[in-house]
Copies of this chain bind each other. A is one copy, B any other.
């Protein structure tokens, strides 16, 4: 399932950035790092009733992105039926406050992938993919929790999207203001944003 890729994914007409191309990267390690840090994938496809984008739990392993949902999840059902998907994972790193309205921005790292996601039907493979999902949420506990029963496996849909046509886009650093605005008496810079975990709340 893992296509052979060297250090970088190949560019395609869809993944090649036409604007601000310095923000684009096809580096495999960089793309994997974003996918491993992100928490939610936004999965989109074209249904008979128009476009549909929904947030979804996911996990990456090698060059495969596992997408997870209930068997009744209509988007995954459609995707499993051979309809192409686009998947985006975005991490916001900061608010970029410029001296001019126009140059306000955000620092972020995002990955966008395209392709066909296949149903993972084989129970062994499905168990493994679900394990990857649990490991993404909580790396150290996967061995301690009760593994899925056959019934639970049937009540789970897992799709594998091979990472072939994929790219990342990254903005970092301070605002890029016009020369004439640099003396303006307004604070400019970056407000870094982070996702943090607070004290765990034990279940009753």
Chain A residues with a Cβ under 8 A of chain B: 13-14, 18-19, 39-40, 42-46, 49-55, 57, 70, 72-74, 84-88, 90, 92, 95-102, 104-106, 108, 110, 112, 114, 130-131, 133-134, 137-138, 141-142, 144-149, 152, 155-156, 174-175, 177, 181, 184-204
CB distance from A114 to the nearest CB of B (A): 6
CB distance from A25 to the nearest CB of B (A): 15
CB distance from A165 to the nearest CB of B (A): 10
Which residue of B is nearest A73, CB measured?
Answer: B19
In Å, the complex CA distance between A18 and B39 comes to 24
Main secondary structure of the interface of A (DSSP, over half): mixed
In the complex, which residues of chain B have a beta carbon less than 8 angstroms from the beta carbon of A190? 200-201, 203
- Asked whether A174 lies within 8 Å of B51 as measured between CB atoms, the reply is no
Which residue of B is nearest A90, CB measured?
Answer: B55
- Asked whether B108 lies within 8 Å of A40 as measured between CB atoms, the reply is yes
Query: Which of B70, B96, B133, B197 is A193 in contact with, Cβ under 8 Å?
Result: B197
**Known A42-B53, A55-B88, A92-B195; further 10 A-B contacts with Cβ < 8 A:** A43-B53, A51-B84, A51-B85, A57-B106, A99-B146, A100-B147, A102-B148, A104-B134, A104-B145, A175-B203
Query: Which of B106, B195, B202 is A137 in contact with, Cβ under 8 Å?
Result: B106
- Most B C-beta atoms less than 10 A away, residue of A18, A42, A49, A204: A42
Which residue of B is nearest A92, CB measured?
Answer: B39
In Å, the complex CA distance between A57 and B103 comes to 13
Asked if A104 meets B87 with Cβ closer than 8 Å, knowing A193-B195, A203-B174, the reply is no
Query: Which of B53, B131, B202 is A44 in contact with, Cβ under 8 Å?
Result: B53
Instruction: List 11 interface pairs A-B (beta carbons < 8 Å), by A numbering.
Output: A14-B52, A44-B44, A51-B84, A51-B85, A53-B86, A97-B137, A100-B146, A104-B137, A189-B203, A190-B201, A193-B195
